[in-house]
Structure 1
Amino acid sequence: MSSVERPELAAVPETALWTLWQRAVEARRPDAVLRDPKAVDLVERIDYPFAERFGTSGLQSHLQALRVGCFDREVADFLAREPRGTVVCLGEGLETQYWRVDNGRAHWLSVDLPDMVALRERVLPPGPRRRCLAADATDLGWADEVDRDRAVLVTAQGLCMYLPPARVKALIAGCADRFPGGSMVVDAVPRWFARLTVSGRMRTAAYQVPVMPWAMDAGERDGLRTASPAVTAVRDVRPTGGRGLLGALLPLALTVPPLAAHRPSVTVLNFAEGPDRGAGSR
Structure 2
Amino acid sequence: MEKIKIEKNSVQETLIIPLYGRKMCSEKFPELYIDVYAKKLCDRLDYDFSQLEKKNDSFLYEFGSLEAAMRQLDMIWEIKDYLKKYPKATIVNLGCGLDETGKACDNGLCNIVNIDFPDVISVREKLIINQDREKNIACDLNDYSWMDEVDGSNGVIFFAAGVFHYFKKDEVKSLVLKLSEKYSRGCLVFDSVGKLGLKLMMSKAIKNMGIENVEGLFYVNNPKEELKDSCVMFHSFKD
Scaled to the shorter chain, the TM-score interval is 0.7 to 0.9
* Distance in 2 (alpha carbons) for counterparts of 1:20 and 1:188: 18
Deviation at 1:157, TM superposition (A): 1.2
Q: Match of 1:209, SS? A: helix
* TM-score normalised over the length of structure 2: 0.86
Matched residues in 1 for 2:169 and 2:34: separation?
Answer: 33
Equivalent residue for 2:206? 210
**Count of aligned pairs:** 226
Q: Equivalent residue for 1:136?
A: 140
Q: 1:230 to 1:216 in 2, by over 3 A?
A: closer
Q: For residue 129 of structure 2, what is the aligned residue in structure 1?
A: 125
Percent of aligned pairs sharing the same letter: 25
Helix, strand or coil: the match of 1:230? coil
Is residue 224 from structure 1 mapped to residue 227 from structure 2 by the alignment? Answer: yes
- Structure 2 counterpart of 1:94, which letter? L
Structure 2, unmatched stretches of 5+, are 208-213
Within 5 A, what are the aligned runs for 1:68-87? 68-87=72-91
SS at match of 1:235: coil
Alignment of 1:86-235 (within 5 A): 86-198=90-202, 200=203, 208-210=204-206, 213-217=217-221, 219-226=222-229, 228-235=231-238
How many angstroms apart in 2 are the aligned matches of 1:63 and 1:37?
18
Which TM-score applies when normalising by structure 1? 0.74
Q: 1:124 to 1:40 in 2, by over 3 A?
A: same
SS at 1:63 equivalent: helix
Aligned 8 A contact 2:91 2:158 in 1: yes
Residue number in structure 2 paired with 1:44: 43
CA 1:150 to 1:31, structure 2 compared with 1: closer, same or farther past 3 Å? same
Q: Following the alignment from structure 1 to structure 2, what is the Cα–Cα distance between the partners of residues 110 and 34?
A: 23
Partner of 2:28: 29
Render the CA deviation track for 1:180-201: whole Å, top value 9, x for unaligned.
Answer: 1211011101111112333x4x
- The C-alpha deviation readout for 1:150-195, integer Å capped at 9, x for no partner, is 1000111111110111111111111111111211011101111112
Partners in 2 of 1:123 and 1:227 — Cα distance? 39
Distance (whole Å) between structure 1 residues aligned to residue 65 and residue 128 of structure 2: 22
Conserved 8 A contact 1:38-1:99: no
Q: Supply the distance in 2 between the matched residues of 1:134 and 1:189 (Cα, whole angstroms).
A: 26
How far off is 1:11 after superposition? 5.0
Cα root mean square deviation, aligned: 2.0
Checking the alignment, whether the CA contact within 8 Å between 1:12 and 1:210 is kept in structure 2 is no
Provide, for residues 6-57 of structure 1, a one-character-per-residue CA deviation record: whole Å limited to 9, x for no partner. Answer: 1237655432211000001111236342211111111111111234247323
Query: Is the CA contact (8 Å cut-off) linking 2:90 and 2:157 kept in structure 1?
Result: yes
Residue identity matched to 2:238: R
- Report the Cα distance in structure 2 between the residues aligned to 1:181 and 1:169, rounded to whole angstroms: 18
Aligned to 1:258: none
Amino acid at match of 1:214: F
Q: C-alpha separation between the residues in 2 aligned to 1:13 and 1:142?
A: 21
